[in-house]
Structure 1
Amino acid sequence: MTTLISFLGGGKRGGSYQTTDYKFSHGTVYENERYFGMVLTKEVKPDRLILLGTSASMWDVFFVAGLEDHIEAWSTLSDAVQSDSVTIEQLQPFEQFLTDELGLQVTCQLIDYAKESAGQIDILKKLDELLVKDEHVVMDVTHGFRHLPLIALVAARYLQVTKNVHIEHIYYGLYSNELKFSEVLELRGLLDMLNWVSALETFDKDGDYAVFAPLLVNVGLDQQSADELERASYLERILNASAASAKLKQVMPKLDELHKTDSPLFSLFYTPLAKRLSWYKKTSLGLQEQDLAEKYFKRKDYVRAVIYAMEGLISRETALNEDDVQSFKARKEAYEYLVDSREDFKIFKEFRNAMVHGTASGKDRIRQIMKDPERLHASLKDRFKQLFKDLS
C-alpha cells in the first residue's frame, strides 16, 4: 500500500493557495493547481492520503465545490480556521467528503505547531500510529511551516527504523517568481545521506560493514560485489581475517571504480569508508590481525580485540619460523612457544579465557581487573602496546 503524507499551511480569511503550474523533472506539468498535495494524488495515485495540519491550517481550502450538503459545517470550519480552534470533530465530515471525491482513503490529522521538542515528538508519534509496517510512503513538504520539512525528514528516518517503512519520495514544490511556475524537487537524497551517516555510525560502533551493502547497490554497485562485501564482514567478525582480506581485495577495486563514476553521494562517503577498511592492505596476516585488534579495542569489543591480538602474534611467530601461516600445526606450535616464552602473552591468554568462557580467571589480579571496565580498558591498552611493539 502506498500512502501520501501532505502538510497543510496556515489559513487566512478569504485566502487560498495561489494557482501555479507544477513541473516534474521527467517533464510532466500540472497546470493551474493550488495545492500540491492534490497534484500528487494524480501523479502518485496513492491508496491513502494523510493530511497533516494545525488548528489554524487551511483546511477549508478543499471544500469550496460540491458542498451543498455541508454548507453549515464548512462555515463553522472556516471560522475555526481563523480563530485557530479547528477540532478533529469538525474535520470528520470533510474527511469523508474528500474520501468520496478522490476515491481513496483520506485521513485528516491535527498536529501540534511543533515549536518545542514535545510537539515535534508528538508528530512522530502520530505518524507512527497512522502507518503500518512495510508501508510505502510519499511525503509532500511543500506547504506548512518552514521547520516542518526538518521534522518530516526525521520522521522519515524514524519510520524507516521502527516500522521498516519505505520512503519512496520526498517532494517539495518550489515556486519561482521568475519562471512563473513551481519546480518539483525530489528531496529523497537527503534521507539517503542520513542513511549513509547512520551506516558509518553503526560500523564505527560494531565493525559490521555489511550495513553498507544495500546502500552501495543503490549507488550502482553490482549485487554480487555487495554480497561479497557482506561475506567479508561476516568472515572478519568470526575472526577469519585471511578470508575476509581475500574478499575485500576482490570488492575494493569495484568501489574504486564506482568512486570514479558520476556518483555524488558515494563520492561523499568513499574516503571515510575506504579508510575504515584499509586494514586488508597490510602486507602480512599478522599486521592485518594487529590492525583489526586495535580497531576492535577502540570499539570496546574486547573479545575480538584480544583474540585478534593473540592471533596477530601467532601469525608473526609462524612467519618468522618460515612456516605457512595458514597451517594449523605451525600455528599451534607458535602458540605453545609464545605461551612458554612470553609472560605477557600468557597473561593475555588469561584475559581471553575469562572473556570467552565467561568464568573467573584463576589469577586474582585478572579477576580484579575484569570487574572494572575502565581498569580493563587501561590494562588491555598497556598490554596491546607492549605486545605489538615488536611488530611496528
Structure 2
Amino acid sequence: MDRYLISFLGRSPKRDGSYRTTVYQMPEGPSKPQAYFGYLLQERLQPDCMVILGTSGSMWDGLLEEMELNADIKAPLIESLLEAVDEQTVTQSMLDHVMEQVNAHSRCQYKLLLIPFARNQSEQLAMLNIVADAITEQAEVVLDITHSFRHLPMMAYAAMQYLQAIKPEVRVSQICYGEYNEDIKQGQFVDLSGLLHIQQWLNAATLANNTGDLTDIASLLNTSSIGPDLKKASFYMSVHRSDQARSPLKKVRQALQEESLDAAAALLKPVLLKNTDWVNESYIYQRQSAQAKHAITRKDYLRTSIYAFEAYLTRKVRESGAYPGQENNYAIRKDTQKTLDGDKVFRKTAEGSAYILLRDLRNALAHGGAGTQADVQQLLNDQNKLEDKLNYMLKTLLT
C-alpha cells in the first residue's frame, strides 16, 4: 500500500526576495528553518508520493527553492514560474513540466496539482474530484492543511471523507497542521487526527440511527468496558435474536449510566440509549413492539413488519394464558398462527384483517417479492400508502 502526503501550498509575500522561514517544534525536536511545512512532514514520513495542491498564485517558485535538487535543474524551473506566480497565472501545463523534471530526479514522486479557489459549490466539487483522482484505490494518506486559504482546510477535510467513501480501501491516518506563533516567531506541529476519530464515531452513530445497526459502534468501543457486551448484543440483533441481546444490552445501559466513560463512549451514549430503550419493557411482545416502532421511524419496513408480526403472535400466546412463560416456544407460536389463519370469523374483524395483511406483507418483504395479493402489491408500489398502513397495523394489533 503506497503512502501519500497531501499538502496545500498557499501564497506568501516575499521579503528581500525570499519567503519567510520558520522553525517548527516537531515531536522529535526543533526543525531546521523552513518556508514550507510540507517538506518537514515529507522528511519525517518518507511518503511514496507527495500531492501538492495550490492555486494559480501559490508560491510554486518557493516550493522549488526548498526542494532538494541540483541547482542546474532547479534554477531554470524556478525561472519558468516566477512571472506566472507574481501575476497569479500559473497553469497546470506549467506544473506538469515541473513534475516531469522533478520526478526524474526524486525518490518521492510529486503530483503538483492546480485547484480552484473553492469559493462556490462548483469549484468545491471540482476540488473533491481532483483530490480523489490523485490517490490510488489502496493507499495510506496523511493530510497537511498548514498552507492554504482559511476555508480550504474545511474543504480538505471534506475531501478526505469523500475519498474514503468512494475508495473504501484508502485509509486516512493523520491530519497535520503547522501552527505559527506570532509572539515567539516559531511554529508548532499539531496533530489533528482526533477529527478522524470523531468522524468515525459520528458515522457509526448515523448508521445506528438510520438502521438500528450497532455493529460499527461496537467495533469502535471494542476495547472499552462496554465493548464485549455491545459486540455480543449487536451480533444477536443482526440475526434477529433480540431477546438474547437484551441481557448484554442491559449491562451496557447500566454502565453508560454509572461509569466514567472514555471520549468515544461518552459521545455515543445518547445514541446507544435511544436505540436500546426497548430493553426496559417488561414483556417480550412489548419489546418486539417497541422495536417495530423504532424501525418504522427509520423507514425500515422489512424490520417493521417482522417485529410487528412476531410481537402480535407473542401477544396472542400470552393472552391465551395457556402457556405461561412459553411465548417464544416455536411449536406453540406455529399452532397459534395456524389457529388465527383458519379462524374465518376472526378474519372478518378489523383486527383479523390487519393481521392477515401484516402476515402477507411480511412474507412478501422477507422473500423480496411483491406477493400475490393485490392489496400487498398496491402497498409495495406506494411508499406513503405502505407507511400509513403499517402505522395502522401497529396501532390496531399492538396497542
TM-score range, shorter chain: 0.7 to 0.9
- Cα offset, 1:295, TM superposition: 1.1
- Cα offset, 1:359, TM superposition: 4.2
Is 1:243 the equivalent of 2:247? no
Distance 1:361 1:183, change over 3 A: same
Q: How is 1:13-162 mapped onto 2 (pairs within 5 angstroms)?
A: 16-24=18-26, 26=27, 28-64=29-65, 66-92=70-96, 94-95=98-99, 98-99=102-103, 103-162=107-166
Distance 1:134 1:284, change over 3 A: farther
Distance 1:332 1:4 in 2: 61
Q: Which amino acid aligns with 1:34?
A: A
Distance 2:28 2:277 in 1: 44
Q: TM-score, normalised by structure 1?
A: 0.87
- Cα offset, 1:131, TM superposition: 0.8
Distance 1:41 1:181 in 2: 19
Distance 1:86 1:266 in 2: 48
Give per-residue Cα distances to partners, 1:226-279, cap 9 Å, x unaligned. Answer: 57645533432433221232443455556667x613x33432222222221222
Distance 1:60 1:4 in 2: 20
Query: Would you say the 8 A contact 2:179–2:189 is kept in 1?
Result: yes
Distance 1:70 1:300 in 2: 61
Q: What is the RMSD computed on CA atoms of the aligned residues?
A: 2.7
Is 1:166 the equivalent of 2:176? no
- Relative to structure 2, which stretch is displaced further, 265-274 or 123-132? 265-274
Is 1:260 the equivalent of 2:260? yes
Q: Which amino acid aligns with 1:207?
A: G
- Cα offset, 1:137, TM superposition: 0.6
Q: Which amino acid aligns with 1:221?
A: S
Per the alignment, residue 381 of structure 1 pairs with 391
Ranges in structure 2 where 5+ consecutive residues have no aligned partner: none
Distance 1:40 1:324, change over 3 A: same
Distance 1:265 1:241 in 2: 25
Per the alignment, residue 7 of structure 2 pairs with 6
Per the alignment, residue 328 of structure 2 pairs with 326
Query: Would you say the 8 A contact 2:221–2:264 is kept in 1?
Result: no
- Cα offset, 1:38, TM superposition: 0.8
Query: Would you say the 8 A contact 1:57–1:81 is kept in 2?
Result: yes
State the percentage of identical aligned residues: 29
Query: Would you say the 8 A contact 1:221–1:254 is kept in 2?
Result: no
**Which of 201, 214, 219 does residue 214 from structure 1 map onto?**
219
Query: Would you say the 8 A contact 1:290–1:388 is kept in 2?
Result: yes
Is 1:295 the equivalent of 2:297? no
Distance 1:59 1:370, change over 3 A: closer
- Cα offset, 1:194, TM superposition: 2.5
Query: Would you say the 8 A contact 2:54–2:114 is kept in 1?
Result: yes
- Cα offset, 1:316, TM superposition: 2.7
Q: Which amino acid aligns with 1:329?
A: A
Query: Would you say the 8 A contact 2:56–2:114 is kept in 1?
Result: yes
- Cα offset, 1:40, TM superposition: 0.4
Is 1:203 the equivalent of 2:208? yes
Q: TM-score, normalised by structure 2?
A: 0.85
Query: Would you say the 8 A contact 2:360–2:371 is kept in 1?
Result: no
Per the alignment, residue 355 of structure 1 pairs with 365
Distance 2:101 2:13 in 1: 22
Question: When the two structures are aligned, how many residues end up with a matched partner?
Answer: 381
- Cα offset, 1:104, TM superposition: 1.5
Task: Give the match's secondary structure for 1:166.
Answer: strand
Task: Give the match's secondary structure for 1:32.
Answer: coil
Query: Would you say the 8 A contact 1:95–1:106 is kept in 2?
Result: yes
- Cα offset, 1:98, TM superposition: 4.8
Task: Give the match's secondary structure for 1:63.
Answer: helix
**Which of 352, 356, 360 does residue 346 from structure 1 map onto?**
356
Distance 2:63 2:57 in 1: 14
Q: Which amino acid aligns with 1:63?
A: L
Query: Would you say the 8 A contact 2:12–2:19 is kept in 1?
Result: no
Task: Give the match's secondary structure for 2:118.
Answer: coil
